[in-house]
Amino acid sequence: MKIRYYADADIQEWHDHTLRLLRTVHNNHDILVEIVQIDEQYGPITNFPGEVRSSTPEDVYERDFKQNRDLAANISRPPSKVYKFEGDIDIAGHVAVVTDDVQWASTLQGDAYGHGTGAKDKTPIDFLADVSESPSNRICIECAHLLDGDETFCPACGFEPQ
């Protein structure tokens, strides 16, 4: 399992905060992290503990989002309704949980501030903040099953976080 960031977020503060949180997740919990830079706005990303590569939004959408049934089930909407608007692809700034394929991805930009009730579960910054504190707040590190933070073990694989 790894966490992937589709860089760069529209707002530099969000981008910088996301990079800090990804480093914390990797350094504190040994979770693999990577970046696919699809919209470079703030210069090259250096001193990052994971792989950094470039791609186009179209290639990323085709590979990771389009016709991804696991992702659609975990975000409760077709990816085409979340990441595509009138033909424009809007993936930059999001984070995803990846096993062989993307299992979950943020559906709102930035953090929960201003998005309203229930947004915290859908934003990249809030997701990463929860995982950096304790991965079991949001995800099983063994099978990438999404958690709500109240479980004492993963209902999908039985893993018990320490």
**What are 43-96's pLDDT values in tens digits?**
999 999 999 999 999 999 999 999 999 999 988 889 999 999 888 999 999 999
Element (H, E) at 7: strand 2-7
Quote the longest CA-to-CA distance of the chain. Answer: 45
Is it true that the peptide bond before 8 is cis, omega within 30 degrees of 0?
yes
DSSP 35-85: EEESS--S----S-SSEEEE--HHHHIIIIITT-HHHHHHHTS-HHHHSEE
pLDDT tens by residue, 25-46: 999 999 999 999 999 999 999 9
Decide if 47 contacts 153 (C-beta within 8 A): no
What are the residue boundaries of the structural domains of the chain, listed by start?
2-137
What is the rounded CA–CA span in Å between residue 162 and residue 16? 30
CB-based burial label for 113 (10 Å; 0-12, 13-18, 19+)? exposed
Cα 139 to Cα 108, 136, 150, 159: the distances in Å are 18, 5, 11, 11
pLDDT band at 13 (very low <50, low <70, confident <90, very high): very high
Token pair 């999001």: residue: 94
Give CA–CA dist 117/162, Å, rounded. Answer: 31
Indicate the pLDDT class of residue 157, thresholds 50, 70 and 90.
Answer: confident
